[in-house]
Amino acid sequence: MKTETLTIYQILEAASRVTGTPVKVITGSRRTTELVFIRDACFALSKDYLCKTDQSISRALGRERSTITHGKKRHEENIVNNPFYRRLYNTIKNEAKLTDTDA
């Protein structure tokens, strides 16, 4: 399965390729709406496709565990209600070559 070798950093690299935003900026401290969307998508993909815990995602991204949990909640709202976010999430998922059969 693809997810056995995929890492959180590879999801960040896919997000960087899709958005043109360097990984260092994605993992940085700026909180613009676009960066929050990118991070939330990366959190959700790491959780859903890599089966990572909030704790392991937070360590990999230098965030508090509660930030990951809150980002996952925002993801659940945005994936349903925000077409821009939904397209971004799906584009990153496709770029990282994640499929629903991997989940």
pLDDT at 41: 97
Domain residue limits, the chain: 2-95
* Token pair in block for residue 2: 């693809």
pLDDT at 65: 94
pLDDT at 3: 40
How far apart CA 67 and CA 85 sit, in angstroms, is 18
How many other C-beta atoms lie within 10 A of the C-beta of residue 57? 25
Instruction: Name the residue with tokens 């809150």.
Output: 70
**Which of these CATH numbers, 3.40.640.10, 3.60.21.10, 1.10.1750.10, 1.10.730.10, describes 2-95?**
1.10.1750.10
How far apart CA 33 and CA 40 sit, in angstroms, is 10
Q: Where are the alpha helices (DSSP H) in 1-103?
A: 8-19, 23-26, 33-49, 54-61, 65-81, 83-95
pLDDT at 4: 46
Q: Which residues of the chain have pLDDT under 70?
A: 1-5, 101-103
pLDDT at 101: 61
